[in-house]
A and B are shown apart, each in its own frame.
Chain A
Amino acid sequence: MSDEKMESDCYDPAKVTPALQLDVEQFYYREARLLDNRQYQSWLALCSEAIHYVMPARTNPLVDNSERGNESMISIERELEGADSTGTPIRNETYPYLMLRVERSFKPNAWAENPPARTRRIVGNIEILDVQDDRLSVTSAFHLHYSRPGSENFLYAGQRRDVLLRGEDGYKILDRVIIMDVAEIVLPTLGLFL
């Protein structure tokens, strides 16, 4: 990676102040608490009605020999088949789909969650990459412990790439791309709120 690239990759202290970092971290901690407490209706209130919620598929592409020696040769982006790809993302949803999922969660015949899973997520590496007016680009990493009666325990790991919208009543999630770090999907569901 060139020096310029390194520089542009660092946060701008004029935009990302300690107060802003604290504010954004608190948002993510609260979001994690709501999700682990199964307060999905409260969580949905953190989503913009214009939300685009995507979990790209992750494939194993051929290595391009001409990229040999460059970081781009093994870049994660090459593996992702997201919303704009001609592949099939695992999830590619808007607000009505998230609403449907939230409604489902509070019905006793949502059998995959009866009894409900016990989850605990640790959200970290919260990095504010850019601030443009009322929009913040933020990446974070998560580990999620998932446990259901009668099942094994599972560890989910991934990255979230968000665009947060700052408004009068706090932040709303406008865009979320979830990069799952699993090569073989042996997890019981990727239909969770992540």
Chain B
Amino acid sequence: MSISIADVVNDDATLISRRAWSDPELYELEKRGIFGKAWLFLAHESQIRESGDFVQAYMGETPIIVSRGPDGAVYANINSCSHRGLPVCRSDHGNTTKFVCPYHNWNYDVTGKLVAIPQERHVKGRPDKSKLGLKAVPRVESWNGMIFGSFDPEIESLDDFLGDMRFYLDAFFARFPQGIEFYGAPQRWKINANWKLPVENQLGDVNHGPFLHAAVIPPEANAEVFELGLSVVPKPGHGATFRLMPEDAPVESVAWGFEGMATLLGGAEVQDYLREIQAQAKERVGPLRSRMKGLTYGVYPNLSFLWSNTAFKVSHPRGPGQVEYWSWSVVPADAPDDFKKIMRGNHTAFFGPGGILEQEDSEAWVQQFQGSKIDYAEDRPYFYGLGLGEEQERSDMPGLVSVTANEFYARHFFRRWRGALEAAQG
């Protein structure tokens, strides 16, 4: 019989059952109540600039082709032929005029419209092709080049969904004269963990840094997080963490820090570029946001932004016990190409499947899933109560704000999660 979600997450979300991470029945509810409902990140417009450009994406476990049509619009379609269901696109990215199913060569244009059924000339009846296009994602919207899709035709606008999260994302995006772009294809790899732990890790859990990553992150970098770090929940399920640097902080200390090792080793020119960006920050994003030196962000349900190492990530679920993790390098759009190549190193050296820091994270996530499956510990739900009730509003920034050790970002996420699963149960 169906699970009582209130038994999985208590009312203030200070206690969360191990089953939340491992139960197949809850996973099915997540598919319907979260991945079938929310706005999900698909791609960045910089990846599909020209007509016919496409990239692959996922919405949960569903494969999606995101493409630029000849009309300049963005299209998102499920990558599955209307005839027998095979994928019509086998490449990660590229430019094409058509997608062709290998089985009987049904042809679709880049917008997803069915244009040819080769074998139809041998029969008398003509199928109505206008009804047999690829299944389109019913809602597709962009904000600042970030393309999202939703399977819920009735969902609120993307702007409303993001809400005040935009204020914090723009602290990074708008810092650069031409915004940001995604640099090439994402790194993709699989981790035997539940999708929610990578999400939680980036949503606000910067406090694992001094412990899990003590072998690599120097104590002074950790001290900066403890002394200047803030955690914000602009809206339940979203989160932003950053250091609010002192007004008289040296420009270098804001423009790059420990996490800017590639910049530090990259030479004077790229450093001059970033110094200049930081010098203009007050003008571009205002005095408060110019002092923000980002750590990690989360956008409900499964998009993360690792500002400190300039990567966007998506945690795609593959059942309760596996994640397909995607991680893109993000660079300033206006920077010369050789600077972009230097700056992507802040991402690749520390994160991704070969990252110096990421290997510890993956290890923790895999071990947490093991812990979530063990028997005879049902009466020992995970404790999410650190800092309960200590978050407060502030007049100078939107949302609830607290120190980074306060786990309110996770409590808000799981309360939203609980509501979404209860709604899916009906």
Q: Which residues of A contact B (CB under 8 A)?
A: 55, 57, 59-63, 81, 83-94, 96-97, 100-101, 104, 107, 109-112, 150, 184-191
Give me 8 A-to-B residue pairs in the complex whose CB atoms sit less than 8 angstroms apart, sorted by A's number: A62-B95, A86-B184, A86-B340, A87-B183, A90-B348, A150-B370, A185-B189, A191-B355
Among residues of B, the one whose C-beta sits closest to the C-beta of A189 is: B359
- Residue pair A92, B215 in contact (C-beta under 8 Å): no
Segment of B85-93, B123-131, B285-293 in the binding face: B85-93
Query: Is there a chain A Cβ closer than 8 Å to B94's Cβ?
Result: yes
* Cα separation A6 to B187 with both chains bound (whole Å): 35
User: Given A60-B91, A62-B95, A188-B362, do A87 and B348 touch, yes or no (CB 8 Å)?
Assistant: no
* Cα separation A31 to B68 with both chains bound (whole Å): 49
- Residue pair B329, A88 in contact (C-beta under 8 Å): yes
Which residues of chain B come closer than 8 Å to A110, judged between CB atoms? 215, 360
Q: Which of A63, A88, A185 has the most CB of B within 10 A?
A: A88
- Residue pair B94, A61 in contact (C-beta under 8 Å): yes
- Residue pair A62, B91 in contact (C-beta under 8 Å): yes
Q: Which residues of B contact A (CB under 8 A)?
A: 90-96, 183-190, 212, 214-216, 261, 265, 328-329, 337, 340-341, 344-345, 347-349, 352-356, 358-360, 362-364, 366, 370
User: Given A185-B353, A191-B354, A191-B359, do A87 and B95 touch, yes or no (CB 8 Å)?
Assistant: no
Q: Which of A107, A110, A112 has the most CB of B within 10 A?
A: A112
* Cα separation A61 to B56 with both chains bound (whole Å): 11
Among residues of A, the one whose C-beta sits closest to the C-beta of B211 is: A109
Nearest CB of B to A11, in Å: 32
* Cα separation A68 to B355 with both chains bound (whole Å): 37
- Residue pair B190, A186 in contact (C-beta under 8 Å): yes
Which residues of chain B come closer than 8 Å to A97, judged between CB atoms? 261, 349, 356
* Cα separation A188 to B184 with both chains bound (whole Å): 24
- Residue pair A96, B265 in contact (C-beta under 8 Å): yes
User: Given A62-B94, A88-B347, do A189 and B214 touch, yes or no (CB 8 Å)?
Assistant: no
Nearest CB of A to B109, in Å: 16
- Residue pair B183, A62 in contact (C-beta under 8 Å): no
Which residues of chain A come closer than 8 Å to B92, judged between CB atoms? 59-61
- Residue pair B345, A92 in contact (C-beta under 8 Å): yes
- Residue pair A93, B363 in contact (C-beta under 8 Å): no
- Residue pair B354, A91 in contact (C-beta under 8 Å): yes
- Residue pair A88, B364 in contact (C-beta under 8 Å): no
Q: Which of A57, A63, A109 has the most CB of B within 10 A?
A: A57
Which residues of chain A come closer than 8 Å to B354, judged between CB atoms? 55, 90-91, 189-191
Which residues of chain B come closer than 8 Å to A190, judged between CB atoms? 189, 353-354
Which residues of chain B come closer than 8 Å to A63, judged between CB atoms? 91
Which residues of chain A come closer than 8 Å to B185, judged between CB atoms? 57, 59, 81, 87-88
Q: Which of B94, B189, B190, B349 contacts A93 (CB 8 A)?
A: B349
